[in-house]
Each structure stands twice: as C-alpha cells, then as structure tokens.
Structure 1
Amino acid sequence: MSGQTSSTWNHVITSHIAAEFVPFDYPEAGGTGGVSRFGEIAVLRTTAYDGTMHVAAFWRVEPATSPLYDVPLGDESGYVIRGSASIELLDSGETVELKAGDLYSFKKGTLSRWTVHEPFEKFVVVTDGASNAQ
C-alpha cells in the first residue's frame, strides 16, 4: 500500500493485482464466538476520518460454497471485478445473482450463503459509523 503508515495516512493507491491478500477470517454467523474462513482479502483501510469503521478491500475466492455469512461488521457494498456467484438470502428466501460489473449492497446482519461459480473477485466497502440521520 502506498501512502499508509501505522497510525495516520493520506491516501492509498494500489490495484487488485498488486494487493497483498491474506485468508479472510470473520465471525461465525449466529454469534457463536467461532470463526469462519472463506476466500482471501487485501485490506486497504479500516477507519474513516472520524475514527469510525470504514473498511475498503479487495476480496477473492475460487469456486466454492461459503459457510453462513451474516455481514457481521457493518453495511457492505461491493463491485464485482470478475467471476459470478449466487447469493442465497436466507431471511427472505431470495437468491440473487452477481457477475462481473455488478454492484451490490447488503445491510449489516443480512444472513447469506455464497455459491461462487468461477474465480471471483470484488472491491468491497464496509461501514459501521454513527448515524447522522435526522
């Protein structure tokens, strides 16, 4: 990552090709205290200007079906760079299809299972800041 230090930074410039990926571990759905692993993530930033959570990252995975995922960290929005996937939204029973070029957005707590049909990569932003709504 260019421009980032341990506590403050001005900007980040990278591409999904040059990003450093690590295994994506996240809290197991249902609040069991366990950890699930699915795919790999390259985190570009974790906080907003005001200290609230604002994660921007690249995420990728080979074809597979995910463990249950309940969007645990905050509202998640993404852009599919390559690949395709079917996302089963368990609360509504709906299934949505994503492919390269699609945008999506799920609110925190959305219970889902991802079935990835071909090598998949996305850019994702997750936020969980204080509400300014009136």
Structure 2
Amino acid sequence: MPSDTTTPTATVPKSAASAERAHSITVRMHISDIARFLQDNLGQRLTARIANINDPKQVGKWASGDTTPRPEAEDRLRAALQVFQLIQDAESLYTARAWMIGMNPQLDDEAPAQCIADGRKRDVMVAARAYVDGG
C-alpha cells in the first residue's frame, strides 16, 4: 500500500486575498473617486453619515472634486471603501451594500456603516473578514 507523502499545508483564509485587493484599490483611489463610488452605491446620506458630517450635499462636492474632506472624514471614507471592496470581491455588489447597512451580530447588531462613522473601523474590518471566511 503506498504511503501518503503529502505534507499538510497551512490554509490561507479566503479573506486574505480579498483583503489585499481591497487595500490596494483603496490606497490607489483618489478621494473624489472614493466619495463618488460610495455615493453611487450607498447613497449620499449614508455616505455623509459614514463620514460623520451633517450635510449630505458635501459628499457630492467631494465626488465632483470641488472640495476635499477633512482628514478624519477621508479616513472613514477609505475604511468604508476598503470594507465594501472586501465583501464585494468575495460576494457581490448587492451583498456588500446589504452587509454595510444591515445589523451585524459581531458588531452588537449595529450596522457596519454606523460603526465606521463612530470610529470603529477596525472592528468592522474584523467582522468583514470573519464574514468572508464564513464565520
């Protein structure tokens, strides 16, 4: 009987490759493109909430390149895009949108978009990776 000479290999989480792609996309995109993408896929009001600003029309100004967000708002927008891209890469555009706005049990039943607005971007990324990996 032949012996099994295969050696066990470490399993790479499904989210690893998607996370790398999402990060690469996020750091290469201009903030106006990020604002436009989020506005197109999540809506102007939700994008404003993610950025933690009161005026949704400001998002349109960012998307057109007329103005740029403050660093804190840009940080939140980049985090939202990165998470959105991670989910979209593994699933679909529609799943990513639903995941961002729906209650999430790993985030105490809060929506990931709201958690990013509250400054909990790392918690959201952990939850996104767990979702992609089936957890």
TM over 0.5: no
Bigger radius of gyration among the two: 2
TM-score (norm 2): 0.31
TM-score (norm 1): 0.32
Bigger proportion of residues as strand: 1
